[in-house]
Structure 1
Amino acid sequence: MKRQMINPSEARELYDRLHLSSATRVGDMIWVSGQVGMDRATNTVGQGMEAQARLAFENLKTVLEAAGATMADIVEIMTFHLDMEGSDIQEFVKVKDEYLPSDYPSWTGVGVTQLARPEFKIEIRAIAVAGCGAD
């Protein structure tokens, strides 16, 4: 089996500048790098947790599609949060449940003191198995 680097055109700048792939696929397994709440087309960070969570999940969806998978193929997510106790986590769970409404994947949430940019509130990484979802 060969390793395939997944880098949608929207994320090419990150690959060139930071030397990382948005995802790596080996066989049906896909490891997705952390996705943040930024609109890649405009480089605009979402205002508030709900907006950032939606953008991060949309970025995750884009990467999975480029890898030949869907959100239903996610078997695990790991999320990094600046606020694990306040309203941010509640807003995140609400958005998460819109993108992953059933057959919930494993989930580990980690509280951190900072992310790559000070305005980021959330980062989501995922593991998927192409073709295993209900879709």
Structure 2
Amino acid sequence: MNKPEFFVTPGYGERLSNGLHYSQAMKIGNRVETSGQGGVDDNLQIPESLADEIAQAFRNVERTLATAGAGWKHVVHINSYHVGGFPPEVNDVMVKLFRHYMPNHAPIWTEVGVAALALPTMRIEIRVTAITS
């Protein structure tokens, strides 16, 4: 059996790993699992605009996958967690970014409404599974 490898995203991931003792990604064999990636910058700041926060979360997923040798082209499963319900903007932005980052495939997706996320002003967190070969 393959041994799991754990990865920490440079920047915000290092801050979170040091403070909360967790990794952003784990690879075992050709499977990569990420922890939830929020729309934060390296200083844990969150954009005011919901669309910008979602876009930042997608970029953070991309950064995190890269630490484990994967990318959006390998993503097969997405869970997204949303505070504040699902106004039309949420799905509009999510689908636009799905098509941008994964133009050649449509992964499975579960969207979940939640009361709160790790930081008080966070409105989205995205967790993915990727298969690299």
Q: TM-score, normalised by structure 1?
A: 0.88
- 1:39 corresponding residue in structure 2: 41
CA gap 1:85/1:58 in 2 versus in 1, 3 angstroms: closer
Cα deviation, 1:82-112, whole Å, max 9, x if unaligned, reads 1333134233333333223330111000011
Query: What amino acid does structure 1 have at the position aligned with 2:47?
Result: G
4+ runs of 1 displaced by more than 6 Å? none
Residue identity opposite 2:4 in structure 1: R
Q: Which runs of 5+ in 2 are unaligned?
A: none
Amino acid at match of 2:130: A
Q: Which runs of 5+ in 1 are unaligned?
A: none
Q: Deviation of residue 113 (structure 1)?
A: 1.1
Q: 1:85 to 1:8 in 2, by over 3 A?
A: closer
Alignment identity in percent? Answer: 31
Alignment of 1:1-135 (within 5 A): 1-10=2-11, 11-40=13-42, 42-89=43-90, 90-131=92-133
Across the aligned residues of Structure 1 and Structure 2, the Cα RMSD in angstroms comes to 1.4
Amino acid at match of 2:51: E
Which one-letter code corresponds to 1:54 in the other structure?
A
Question: Taking structure 2 as the reference length, what is the TM-score of the superposition?
Answer: 0.89
How far apart in 2 are the matches of 1:84 and 1:101?
26
Residue identity opposite 2:131 in structure 1: V
Find the aligned partners of 2:124 and 2:95 in 1 and give their Cα distance.
12
Seen in structure 2, the aligned counterparts of structure 1 residues 92 and 84 have a Cα distance that, compared at 3 Å, is: farther
Which amino acid is 1:115 matched to? L
